[in-house]
Structure 1
């Protein structure tokens, strides 16, 4: 398959590029700093601004597009820049008639109780609220749209070593829907390598068209 990855040098994006390339897909890696993209015969690094007017032309001809776009959790303007960039990506995917756009969002919009999302709980970290809320708003805007072939994956609450989980690649994961996955009484987690496996599997199968889903380790 010909697959594009937007945000290809970020924490999630880099893992996704590596996983897709290992599966012998033809990967186009869109990034601001292309020198950070893994070197491989089946990876093409492309420097491009998603907010450019002609970005849709860059998305022509792909079997699927994975958006791991994120302006950075420490960016003080993350809410505005995430919204602007994500909207530009969705608009470009629509114009290019992308068959499957898988957007990597956050765990904040997952439900922990009826009508209660993780982001609205008292212990949700304030330092990432703005970015998580921007991702939640994006999901809300997408849910009734059928003019774009979108899907949306929310990682679990604990992603990788930075969240106190693991970086081990086990090759296994479990799927969920709109609710936060748990490990007993604790929020579940996943390594970024296993998240990339789940993303690659979903992209190959186009398994969640017009749906949000989540994953966690087994």
Structure 2
């Protein structure tokens, strides 16, 4: 399978890239600093590291040219001051639609999941004010996917820890998992996102995820 990863050098993205290569997939890793992914002593012929700019249409179009599935794990400032998450997804979706691509697995945040009253967690009175800005960035990204004709999956974790996979975690659809410990190892998140991408799971669903 040909997989394009946006946000390939982040703590989740770099793990997705390595896991996908280990599984024998062809990976296009996209980013401004993707050189860091290439080990000159152990070059993997399945890896294409494409240096590019997310807001450049030609760069994004080239990155997804041969992709069977796109994985977006875009990050950004925690205060929501940049628009990498929302505008990045917008540019990716536009190019996917132009090229007839269908499958995307993307990373959001806990606030975009449903609360018990079918509002969003983001809009609840108890949602921390310091996370509102970045939560709204995730919401805009989700709305872009929702308005598209794509086969999307939107992962919505709480705190992502820079730790390896354990395989011990729980997922849920559209609501936060129970029990929810409000944390997920980057390795476990990468593992489940790649699994969803390669096995066509959670089509047009939001996914809550938490370590036990």
Asked if TM exceeds 0.5, the reply is: yes
> Which position in structure 1 is the counterpart of 2:102?
99
Unaligned runs of 5+ in 1: 162-166
Distance of 1:154 and 1:81 partners within structure 2: 17
Q: CA deviation at 1:122?
A: 4.0
- The residue that corresponds to 1:198 in the other structure is 192
Distance (Å, rounded) in 1 between the aligned partners of 2:132 and 2:3: 31
- Residues 21-36 of structure 1 mapped to structure 2, 5 A cutoff: 21-36=21-36
Task: Output the CA distance in 1 between the equivalents of 2:38 and 2:127.
Answer: 34
Aligned residues: 207
After superposition, where does 1:125-204 map in structure 2 within 5 Å? 125-146=128-149, 148-155=150-157, 157-160=158-161, 167-183=163-179, 187-204=181-198
Unaligned runs of 5+ in 2: none
Q: Given the superposition, is the C-alpha separation of residues 38 and 181 from structure 1 closer, same or farther in structure 2, using an over 3 Å criterion?
A: farther
**TM-score between both structures, scaled by the size of structure 1:** 0.84
For the aligned residue pairs, the C-alpha RMSD in angstroms reads 2.2
Aligned to 1:13: 13
Tell me if structure 1 keeps the 8 A contact 2:5–2:71: yes
1:144 to partner: Cα distance: 4.5
Q: Indicate the SS of the match to 2:127.
A: coil
CA distance in 2, matches of 1:189, 1:168: 13
Deviation at 1:217, TM superposition (A): 2.8
Q: Residue 28 of structure 2 aligns to a residue in which SS?
A: strand
Specify which of 58, 70, 73 is matched with residue 78 of structure 2: 73
Cα distance per residue 1:63-96 (max 9 Å; x no partner):
111011123325x622x34322221111111112
Question: Which of 57, 63, 69 does residue 64 from structure 1 map onto?
Answer: 69
Q: Tell me which residue corresponds to 1:110.
A: 113
